[in-house]
């Protein structure tokens, strides 16, 4: 867009006529990583983004937004003055969304939203030009950036939406006005802020607040908290899950070493394959299939999209360790539901190697954290998991619980967050070729650094 169009979309407060024809090719909020011709958005974080405007221009920015509470500099660089650069970014994202006018699919949930986003995008890509949320750009900054990253030929945009408090999904849903809204599940993520799963469900239902009048709400029908709340939604509703009263449910599931085969009630003669493990991912796939069905994607194209889905980095992925072990890495986020699901999956794998599990703290669990960490002991025994490595102060509770439950102390290991080098050394001493090592923890524990050392040649 030209600056004249941008200025109108964000309600610029200054005269931009001398720069009206200047072209802007992209939008960025990091002055170090922007393309030639970008519009720089100075946001307030640990530091004020206005401090980096000069750096942005030096790195190729064509123009910048400028907060009206900052002194206007005496230069002739293109600046678009606004009351709030973040709100201006959101207004520009909404303007551009309406200009391109793609189908909008919004996805949230306590677990599985990123995997579901990837699956939906892969299924829709068999028939449409698709843009999807990059990495974890799923908040009040990332969502408008996702919209502004759409190419002009985008026919469908798949937007992941995260939240940590009330009002966030309400604002994001009203920003993107989805044609289809998807909720994967309700878990314990962010229970520190909400207190109960009921309140988490209330907050998650905000995704329907911007849903178009002729839109569709797709949700996990196995979850009573969602069924209760969905009754108040006026738009079309469709459900997925394992129970037989859902619109789409799995009729068979077969776990392979690095994939899952499954079939569903609506197309009983077809086999669907996803290139990942964990039966819980079948639910994510069925959510994506309902989106595809709504947009007239054939079951055969759904098969193709699911089989070739490209997953966002740091979600569940198999890696080869430097000592011949297999590593199941899932180090982006963690909560009790997700940990139990991965432990169940690991236990059911046909592979006969020893299982070594590395668990980092599950963050944002609030007052319930000790109880929820201790509860994982019910899913861990020495028959199925031969070595247990626990990292972080919250995991001390699980360590104590496992000891009390009789897990062999010689095979139980505990580390403070800053002892990851010792953890790596101990793992390397213990690992044998053919072992399976699972890494699971909240991103703030940074088990990706452990993974990097285990896979380094």
- Is 298 annotated among the ligand-binding residues? no
The beta strands (E) that lie in 61-153 are given as: 63-67, 79-82, 103-108, 130-132
Q: Please check whether residue 263 is in contact with residue 296, taking contact to mean a CB–CB distance below 8 angstroms.
A: no
Residues 6+ apart with CB under 8 A from 102: 131, 150, 154, 155, 156, 157
- Is 366 annotated among the ligand-binding residues? no
- Is 115 annotated among the ligand-binding residues? yes
- Is 113 annotated among the ligand-binding residues? yes
Q: How far apart are CA 170 and CA 162, in angstroms?
A: 11
φ and ψ at residue 338, rounded to 5 degrees: -65, -40
Q: How far apart are CA 154 and CA 288, in angstroms?
A: 19
Query: How many Cα atoms sit within 13 Å of 15 on the Cβ side?
Result: 3
CA angle 9, 70, 175 (to 5 degrees): 30
DSSP tally for the chain: helices H, then strands E? 16, 19
Q: What is the dihedral of CA 130, 133, 134, 138, to 10 degrees?
A: 180
Q: Please check whether residue 240 is in contact with residue 249, taking contact to mean a CB–CB distance below 8 angstroms.
A: yes
DSSP, collapsed to helix, strand or coil, labels residue 368 as helix
- Is 132 annotated among the ligand-binding residues? no
Q: How far apart are CA 132 and CA 115, in angstroms?
A: 12
**Angstrom distances, CA of residue 88 to CA of 17, 80, 94, 383, 402:** 19, 10, 10, 57, 52
Q: Please check whether residue 29 is in contact with residue 141, taking contact to mean a CB–CB distance below 8 angstroms.
A: yes
- Is 237 annotated among the ligand-binding residues? no
Q: How is residue 246 written in tokens?
A: 């859902």
Q: Which helix (H) or strand (E) holds 337?
A: helix 336-348
Q: Please check whether residue 370 is in contact with residue 449, taking contact to mean a CB–CB distance below 8 angstroms.
A: no
- Is 417 annotated among the ligand-binding residues? no
Binding residues for ATP: 109-115
Task: Give the residue numbers of the binding site.
Answer: 109-115
């Amino acid at each position: 867009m030209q600056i004249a169009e941008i200025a109108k979309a964000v309600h610029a407060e200054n005269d931009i006529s001398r720069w009206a024809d200047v072209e802007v090719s992209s939008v960025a909020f990091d002055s170090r990583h922007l393309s030639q011709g970008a519009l720089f958005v100075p946001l307030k974080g640990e530091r004020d983004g206005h401090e980096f405007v000069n750096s942005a221009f030096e790195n190729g920015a064509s123009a910048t937004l400028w907060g009206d509470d900052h002194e206007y500099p005496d230069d002739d660089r293109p600046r678009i003055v606004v009351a709030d650069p973040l709100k201006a970014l959101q207004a520009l994202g909404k303007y551009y969304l309406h200009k391109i006018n793609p189908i909008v699919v919004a996805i949230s949930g306590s677990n599985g939203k990123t995997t579901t986003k990837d699956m939906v995008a892969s299924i829709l890509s068999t028939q449409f030009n698709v843009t999807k949320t990059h990495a974890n750009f799923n908040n009040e900054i990332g969502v408008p950036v996702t919209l502004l990253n759409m190419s002009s030929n985008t026919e469908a945009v798949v937007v992941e939406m995260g939240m940590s408090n009330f009002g966030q999904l309400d604002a994001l849903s009203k920003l993107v006005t989805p044609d289809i809204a998807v909720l994967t599940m309700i878990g314990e993520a962010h229970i520190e802020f909400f207190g109960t799963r009921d309140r988490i469900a209330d907050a998650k239902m905000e995704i329907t607040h911007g849903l178009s009048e002729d839109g569709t709400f797709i949700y996990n029908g196995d979850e009573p908290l969602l069924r209760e709340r969905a009754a108040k939604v006026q738009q079309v509703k469709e459900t997925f899950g394992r129970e037989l009263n859902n619109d789409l449910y799995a009729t068979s599931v077969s776990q392979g070493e690095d994939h899952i085969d499954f079939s569903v009630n609506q197309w009983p003669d077809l086999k669907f394959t996803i290139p990942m493990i964990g039966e819980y991912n079948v639910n994510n796939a069925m959510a994506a299939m309902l989106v595809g069905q709504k947009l007239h994607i054939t079951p055969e194209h759904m098969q193709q999209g699911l089989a070739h889905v490209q997953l966002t980095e740091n979600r569940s992925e198999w890696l080869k360790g430097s000592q011949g072990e297999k590593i199941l890495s899932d180090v982006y986020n963690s909560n009790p539901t997700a940990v139990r699901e991965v432990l169940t999956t690991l236990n059911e794998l046909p592979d006969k190697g020893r299982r070594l599990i590395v668990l980092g703290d599950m963050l944002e669990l609030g007052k319930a954290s000790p109880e929820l960490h201790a509860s994982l002991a019910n899913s861990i025994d020495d028959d199925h998991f031969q070595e247990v490595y626990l990292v972080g102060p919250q995991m001390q509770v699980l360590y104590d619980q496992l000891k009390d439950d009789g897990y062999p102390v010689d095979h139980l290991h505990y580390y403070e967050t800053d002892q990851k080098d010792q953890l790596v050394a101990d793992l390397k001493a213990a690992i044998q070729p053919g072992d399976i090592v699972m890494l699971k923890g909240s991103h703030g524990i940074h088990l990706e650094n452990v993974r990097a050392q285990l896979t380094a040649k």
